[in-house]
Copies of this chain bind each other. A is one copy, B any other.
Amino acid sequence: MRHLICGIDGYIGWSLALHLAKDGHEVYGVDNLSRRKNVEEVGSWSATPIPSMAERVRIARDIFGVEIGFFQGDLLDYPFIRDVVKNSKPDAIFHLGEQPSAPYSMISRENAVYTQENNVIGNLNLLFAMKEYANDSHLIKLGSMGEYGTPNIDIPEGFFEVEFRGKKEKLPFPKQPGSFYHLSKVHDTHNIMLACKLWGLRATDIMQGVVYGTRTKEIIDDGLLTRFDFDEVFGTALNRFCAEAVVGHPLTPYGRGKQTRGFLALVDSVQCLTLISENPPEKGEYRVFNQLDKLYSVNQLANIVHREGERLGLKIEIENIENPRVEKSEHYYKVDHKGLKRLGFKPTRPIIDEVRIMLEDLMRFRGRIAQKMDRIKPRVSWKEGMPRLEEQSTPNYVAWCEKA
């Protein structure tokens, strides 16, 4: 098959590109490299050193003999994405090309506006390009489990049947997200639903849980590594804990640590995305999958990192800190996720095994993490944003590394 990956330079984008290319598919990718720029802007970097896109393409060619086509450009630039879609005529378009961080969207008005404009208009441009030049393609759009929020009832896969005043109706499940980033994904969801109805596009909207891991079957060489963010803005809770563990910093769950979310290994995210591309919906169909393996609370994650880290000889403490976010500290959370299993999805990587590999990988890059340890502590308040970067103190945390 011929695949186009928007956001090929990202954490999942690059892992997916390697998998599909090695699997014999024709793979094209676009990226504006904004993830690198935005992580740099908040004063951090990927714990894993990642080569430039030109080098990535070359290394993939050298190791696997595959040819990944890369086009640098922005989804906000319609002639650019239109021409890529028109010329590549993909069977599937994986849209992973959005600003992916909730905290980043909460830093300031500028960041909220940037996130919604970048994500919503970029996605609209892609829909119009498909309408004009790839009406039969399958849009595989990365949404987020965070779109749903944490309602006090079960979360179905996109739709639910309700009875209201004696009449039954299948309705989209209402979305109650908790950040301007998650809202941008909700806006996308609504826009995609209409595009399918109006123009007969086919789309799969993925409500994905939090993805963890540093490895896929294809990441067999340091030159093939995908990025790994650990700062407070772009790092997930689990990534932050792993980074803290390897430099001897206490693990810092936010609040009481009972917030619960769905999780999935990187290799299994790639497995799901591939399965979805092999099983497209009908023309005009808007389909939703909740893409996750298991649920964990923040404290459970900290405990897993604590246990696996100590097995590797690390000395680890856990210190819950004030939660900068506005979210329920304890809540009901039950999520349907049978759709992908019906397509054949089998989770392959238990979180415990994967955390051990993550810690082993990160121990090799301890120096890179230590240099940016001042970027782990939360500064972005959901109520107040983040003080301007220049106003922040930047103590030297390299000491953490030496202690460790």
Is B153 a contact of A125 with CB atoms below 8 Å?
Answer: no
Across the interface, name the chain B residue whose C-beta is closest to A160: B164
CB contact under 8 A between A113 and B124, given known A151-B169, A152-B167, A164-B153: yes
Residues A101-128 near B (CB distance < 8 A): 109, 112-113, 116-117, 120-121, 124-125, 128
Is A194 a contact of B180 with CB atoms below 8 Å?
Answer: yes
Is B186 a contact of A190 with CB atoms below 8 Å?
Answer: yes
A24 at the interface (CB under 8 A from B): no
Write out, one digit per residue, whether chain A residues 163-205 have a CB within 8 A of any chain B CB (1) or not (0): 1110111011111111110010011001101100111000000
Q: Is chain A's binding surface mostly helix, strand, loop or mixed?
A: mixed
A14 at the interface (CB under 8 A from B): no
Q: Count A interface residues, CB 8 Å.
A: 48
CB contact under 8 A between A169 and B198, given known A113-B124, A183-B190: no
A397 at the interface (CB under 8 A from B): no
Q: How far is the CA of A183 from the CA of B382 in the complex (A)?
A: 26
A352 at the interface (CB under 8 A from B): no
A78 at the interface (CB under 8 A from B): yes
CB contact under 8 A between A169 and B152, given known A116-B124, A160-B164: yes
A154 at the interface (CB under 8 A from B): yes
Between-chain CB contacts (< 8 Å), 24 pairs: A109-B125, A112-B124, A116-B121, A116-B187, A116-B191, A120-B187, A152-B167, A153-B162, A153-B164, A153-B168, A154-B164, A154-B167, A156-B164, A162-B164, A163-B163, A167-B332, A173-B174, A175-B190, A179-B194, A183-B194, A186-B187, A186-B190, A198-B382, A198-B383
9 shortest A-B CB distances, which residue pairs?
A109-B128, A187-B187, A171-B174, A172-B174, A153-B169, A153-B167, A153-B164, A162-B162, A152-B169
* A interface, CB within 8 angstroms of B: 78, 109, 112-113, 116-117, 120-121, 124-125, 128, 151-154, 156, 160, 162-165, 167-169, 171-180, 183, 186-187, 190-191, 193-194, 197-199, 326, 332, 382-383
